[in-house]
Structure 1
Amino acid sequence: MKRSAITSQPARILMALVVGLALGGLSAASGGAWVEDAADVAEPIGGIWLHGLQMTIVPLVVALLVVGIAEGAKAARASRIAGRSFALMVAILWFSAIFAALFVPLLLNLFPVPAASAEALRAALATAKPVETVPTFADFLRSIVPSNPVAAAASDSILPLVVFATIFGFALARIPAEGRERLVAFFRAIAETMIVIVNWVLWLGPIGVFALAFVVGARAGGGALGALLHYIAIVSSVGIVILALAYPVAVIGGRVSLPRFARAVAPAQAVAFSTQSSLATLPQMLRSSEQLGIPVTASGVTLPLAVALFRATGPGMNLAAALYIAQWFGMELSAAQIAMGVVVAAITTFSAISLPGQVSFVLNIAPIALAMGVPIGPLALLIAVETIPDLFRTVGNVTMDVAVAATAAHQSGIGPEDAGEEDRLLSEGEEGTA
């Protein structure tokens, strides 16, 4: 039986946030001496829940990154269209991260976090502290290649660990099939096990979010709500811009007229908006591609690869969240710290999970925040309002997926005249159901 909207996991977490903030605010307004004692009890409960998510970050990121890159590199080597698609996806992911690194600080300068809210939230989350030592550019360069990957994992040094996992994944794609399949199966099993643990922790999410929200409400009052709404607007704006950029990608790269692309992709956007899942939107993306004249021989390679590995809005919106937290805590980020964030945001997108945002929110953003020295404690509150930014994430990803399919097909010289038997059968099937 399908769950109703009221009992869905995102709704329960959001409800826990609202109730926690409200009860915390009302408790603070009562002026009782017991309020701070209650906050002192609730704070470690929320902290334990956040640590439960945090303990899965390193093994899950490494495992998914190795599997994603190994299988993506293998697919790219096996097919011309896959190779072009993969290269285009990598370029867009890096653009997404670099764009956020330039756009979000400018946006936050124009529309800063409300000062009163930021101060109140910093006081409420007193245990979340940024790093005290700011890395120099030389430190950034030295940290790129780890001298000891195990030590990097043990110390949560995310950037060198990501670089090692990336190199390992590409190397894995070049060894004999028997050994490659064994190692990929091993890392996939680790990832699946970690996802089970994440789902267990998220099942307890309402408790953890309620505890943290009560602390924030008791210590920050109504200022917390304003900061959360401001966060939604800032992060969503990044997704909206990347969504808009998919149209010129299709027009310029795929040689598709703007009205035609807009009409073809609209049904896929509607499915993405309602499901918040690129995977669930894949069938409609294939139909949208067919309306653009892209044969299934091309879209049937590019789109599944995109659903598995490519999330155009991911680097930009994930980095935006980390940059927002940095301003929230009054951090002056150095160029080296932002560069670390860009690298980790662009690469770890290959380890992202194709599931609704609440499942992967902390796991996607925490590595970026850790690499930049930004505290991850606030993520436990921001996860509760991820539903709205996740709408723009999914719609933006789906729109860019179809644009990449059109561009890769055009660059590979594949047009409607290259459609084969599989395309003819798909067209006949759709005519029969019309």
Structure 2
Amino acid sequence: MARSRLFRALKSLTLWVLVALLAGLFAGAAADTWGLPGGAGTASLIQSIGELWLNALKMTIIPLIFGLLVTGIASIADAAATGRLALKALMVFAVLLVGATIYAFIASESLHMLWPIDPAAGQALISSAPDSSTVRESASGAGLSGFLSSLAPSNPVRAAADDAILAIVVFAIAFGFATTRLESRMRAPLVGFFEAVSATMIVIVHWVLMAAPIGVFALSMGVGLNAGVGALGTLSHYVALVVLAQIGLILLIYPVAVLWGRIGLPRFIEGIIPAQVVAFSTQSSLASLPAMVEQARRGLGVSDATSGLVLPLAVAIFRITSPVANLAVVIYCAHLFGVELGPAAWLAGGLTALAVSVGSVGLPGQVSFFVSIAPICIAMGVPLQVLPLLLAVEVIPDIFRTIGNVTADLAAARIVEGRDAVADPEPGAGI
């Protein structure tokens, strides 16, 4: 009940955040043209409000990521222990996630080569971002040797204080798997503790996001003072590149389902369209679950047993668009700030993206946006300062996130069913 209220509240907040973004940009452009009452003092005060809101979001990252990873790994271990079918589903999820992560780097970097950010517009957008001149040093920037040595934190507390996010992710994964080796009497309260920590952090993030219109207005007004309404062009370019990366992923899922799931392309397309329509209208994989179960059984030839286990499990722990969309955002920010990314940075970002995709499943879009992307930015040495502005226009990419997740969930159900799937009803429809 509390989670559903949170989803509804954040969904209604999206419009206000978008309005605040536009209002801030236009107010800043107007102030740049006709002057700002109070001059530099007022501009500094507005910037401080934006920085305060951004810092309030950042302070929840470490405890939330740690708690989500521990509980996420525990849930995966519980699922794997339920039987062979669940274990097969987890293996399919893992293969698809790794493939999606590799695709994310290829697609995003290729899109930037074909359609790069306008240098002048990009510089105008980041010139007013708080601490935009500072790029955080990360192990990924120290080459492969520095990356490898940073994986195991000698002092986890120090690593948390230094925002060594990849080291914290590795420690959290090890901690999570270690809890699965404990007796149930010790494991249950420990996992319950981290569930409580995660829930508490989500409440704090919810409080901070309730002030998102104020924070986004303050940050976007600073942008408007420097870039004017021309910043909308850069934001539109950002939305287009993130959406294109996700559309490419969705299109790739079709041949994967056809070849690995042993199903004809026309049948697969016809079978998943009703669930995709629900995903488009609700922007929620959970709300799309009944339609997915119905279409898996009637349209894709998946048995009741497989659809009843695989699809709820997929909604709970599998989100294929997470690494693709999140890495697209981070790579966009890297190009925006002129951060050079090498193999070590890609490896650090890929591992972090895979880890947080497990932990952030089931969170509202506005919460998961910052929780999922900020750790990847930190791991790859990319500044976070423009993320609040990108959050304001997340409503469009979020639609394609959900469509992609639903498409992959249904493909995974058909793949898990394998040879036992009901044959295509039309002769020659299979391959």
Partner of 1:238, secondary structure, is helix
- In the alignment, structure 2 segments of 5+ residues that lack a partner are 424-431
SS where residue 262 of structure 2 aligns?
A: coil
Match of 1:298 among 306, 315, 332: 306
User: Would the aligned equivalents of 2:353 and 2:376 in 1 still touch at CA under 8 Å?
Assistant: yes
Provide structure 1 residue ranges, at least 5 long, that are not aligned to the other structure: 418-434
C-alpha contact (below 8 Å) 1:20/1:211 kept by paired residues: yes
Which of residues 147, 150, 158 in structure 2 aligns to 1:143?
Answer: 150
Percent of paired sites with the same residue? 46
2:85 matched to which residue of 1?
Answer: 81
Confirm or deny: 8 A CA contact 2:257 2:411 kept in the other structure: yes
Structure 1 consecutive aligned stretches of length 4 or more whose deviation exceeds 3 Å = 1-7, 31-37, 413-417
Q: 1:254 aligns with which of 258, 261, 265?
A: 261
Which amino acid in the other structure matches residue 25 of structure 1? A
**Residue equivalent to 1:53:** 57
CA distance in 1, matches of 2:422, 2:149: 50
207-216 or 337-346, larger mean C-alpha shift: 337-346
Which one-letter code corresponds to 1:293 in the other structure? Answer: G
Q: Secondary structure at the match of 2:81?
A: helix
Superposed, which structure 2 residues align to 1:188-267 within 5 Å? 188-267=195-274
Distance verdict in 2 for CA 1:414–1:148, change over 3 Å: farther
**TM superposition shift of 1:188:** 0.9
Match of 2:387 in 1: 379
CA distance in 2, matches of 1:348, 1:408: 24
Q: 1:330 aligned to 2:338?
A: yes
CA 1:294–1:6: 2 relative to 1, 3 Å: closer
Secondary structure at 1:338 match in 2: helix
Q: How many residues in Structure 1 have an aligned counterpart in Structure 2? A: 415
Question: Corresponding residue for 2:322?
Answer: 314
Q: Which amino acid aligns with 1:295?
A: S
The alignment status of 1:130 with 2:135, answered yes or no, reads yes
Residue deviations 1:45-104, cap 9 Å, x none? 011111111111111111111111111122113211111111111122122222112221
Distance in 2, matches of 1:14 and 1:32, equals 23
Q: Is 1:288 aligned to residue 292 of structure 2? A: no
The alignment partner of 2:383 has SS state of coil
User: CA 1:415 to 1:177, structure 2 compared with 1: closer, same or farther past 3 Å?
Assistant: farther
Distance in structure 2 (CA, Å) of the matches to 1:379 and 1:365: 8
Alignment of 1:349-360 (within 5 A): 349-360=357-368
Do residues 17 (structure 1) and 6 (structure 2) align?
A: no
Check the 8 A contact 2:136/2:382 in 1, yes or no: yes
Q: Is the 8 A contact 2:285 2:315 kept in 1?
A: yes
Q: Which moved more, 1:238-247 or 1:205-214?
A: 238-247
For residue 183 of structure 1, the aligned residue among 190, 204, 225 is 190
Separation in 2 of the partners of 1:253 and 1:331? 38
After superposition, the CA RMSD in angstroms is 2.1
Q: Is the contact between residue 285 and residue 402 of structure 2 (CA under 8 Å) also seen in structure 1?
A: yes
Q: 1:39 to 1:316 in 2, by over 3 A?
A: same
The Cα of 1:6 is off from its aligned counterpart by 12
C-alpha distance 270-237 of structure 1, shift in aligned 2 (>3 A): same
CA distance in 2, matches of 1:32, 1:368: 37
Aligned equivalents of 1:110 and 1:154: distance in 2?
39
- Given that 1:69 and 1:170 are in contact with CA atoms closer than 8 Å, whether structure 2 keeps it comes out as yes
Alignment partner, residue 391 of structure 1: 399
| Aligned twin of 1:91 | 95
Q: Per the alignment, do residues 77 and 6 of structure 1 end up closer, same or farther by CA in structure 2, a change over 3 Å counting?
A: closer
Q: Distance in 1 between matches of 2:307 and 2:131?
A: 49
Aligned residue number for residue 68 of structure 2: 64
